[in-house]
Amino acid sequence: MLCYPHGCMSGVALDGKRIKEEIEQELRPRIAALRERKRAPSIAVVLVGDDPASQIYVRSKIKTCAELGITSIDVTPDSKISTEELLDIVDSFNRDSAIDGILVQSPLPNQIDERTILLAIAPDKDVDGFHPFNVGNLVANRPAPRACTPAGIIEMLKRYRISIAGKHAVIVGRSNIVGKPMALMLLHENATVTICHSRTRDLAAECRRADILVAATGKAGLITANHIQPGTVVVDVGMNRITNETLAMRLVGYDEKRVAAFRKNRQILVGDVDPQAMQQISSYYTPVPGGVGPLTIAMLMSNTVLLAEQHLQ
Ligand code: GUN
């Protein structure tokens, strides 16, 4: 909390749901135009096995498709499927001209060679932007489908008119899905970028140098008050379902409603950042849930529509 003689301020929550709705409203006329030309945008979603978290994510992706008039096909092969069998599924969607986008939900079971699967998705159907061809386009700052979560974060910062150029952005986490593409997108917006990871010396000191801090580690509550400088914009990408009571109380103990929710369900969804510290010290922050999560889906819809428009051309 920043305190001045006339009172105290805390961070403004960035409303991912509102921005998602805004993006969806902008997509509706484009989807209608495609449908008028008998070319409804369509996505094939492949969910291997029965990971509960992945099931929830895929369900909400498919629900959003239905709300917007994007056709979705979902296939749910058994967790024991081989790489070759999964390649056959991907290939059938590659050859199907009615399909604009292919999404293979990760994580995949251990026996699957994930890189081989990613390489097999036709780059012009790569709604996730994970294919090396599209990653190359991102590096070169050329138009191509972009990884949805970092693209959504950039969209959110822009729509809230949070300036990026010249700012020092610190990203914690170096995954191919978030950390690395996030660094490139912020760089293309003219931020000065630092990427931190598990081998970074004095993580807290690096984080305190951030004007914009993006936490994408998958470690609940890793980022604490000690990592946040007053006024920092804090983007929490973490989606961690925790069951450990001590950790849950450390992170949400200040919030009666969330304590009650934990006592009832014996689990709770938290980010990578201590929520109270984030609210009190930041200038703007993304809450978990309701911050970054909805934007990932919005950008998936946006990528699908873009690919459909390109396929029509
Ligand atoms: N698993 C977690 N996030 C994502 C994502 O954005 N795309 C896919 N395909 N899998 C994920």
Tens digits of pLDDT across the chain (313 residues): 666 676 666 899 999 999 999 999 999 999 999 999 999 999 999 999 999 899 999 999 999 999 999 999 999 999 999 999 999 999 999 999 999 999 999 999 999 999 999 999 999 999 999 999 999 999 999 999 999 999 999 999 999 999 999 999 999 999 999 999 999 999 999 999 999 999 999 999 999 999 999 999 999 999 999 999 999 999 999 999 999 999 999 999 999 999 999 999 999 999 999 999 999 999 999 999 999 999 999 999 999 999 999 999 8
* 105 flagged as catalytic: yes
Q: Domain spanning 39-124: which CATH class is it, in words?
A: alpha beta
Please tell me the distance from the alpha carbon of residue 79 to that of residue 61, in angstroms, as a whole number.
20
Is 124 in the active site?
no
Find out whether 181 and 126 touch, Cβ atoms under 8 Å: no
Whether 298 lines ligand 1, by a CB cut-off of 6 Å, is no
pLDDT at 2: 65
pTM comes to 0.96
Could you check whether 39-124 and 147-291 share the same CATH topology? yes
What is the model's pLDDT at position 8?
67
- Among residues 215, 238, 290, 216, the alpha carbon closest in space to that of 15 is found at 290
- Note the pLDDT of residue 302: 98
The minimum-distance atom of ligand 1 relative to the CA of 128 is: 7
Mutate to test the pocket of ligand 1, among 93, 105, 303 (most ligand atoms within 8 A of CB): 105
For residue 287, what pLDDT is reported?
98
Classify domain 147-291 by CATH number: 3.40.50.720
Give the Å distance between the CA of 267 and the centre of ligand 1: 22
Residue 300 beta carbon below 6 angstroms from any ligand 1 atom: no
| Cα 106 to averaged position of ligand 1 atoms, centre (Å) | 5
Assess whether 61 carries a catalytic annotation: yes
What pLDDT score was predicted for residue 7? 65
Ranges of each domain in the chain: 39-124, 147-291
Query: What is the amino acid identity at position 269?
Result: L
Fill in the DSSP letter of residue 226. Answer: G
List the beta strands (DSSP E) in 12-134: 12-13, 42-46, 71-75, 101-104
Asked, as a colleague might, if the bond just before 289 is cis with ω within 30 of 0, I would say yes
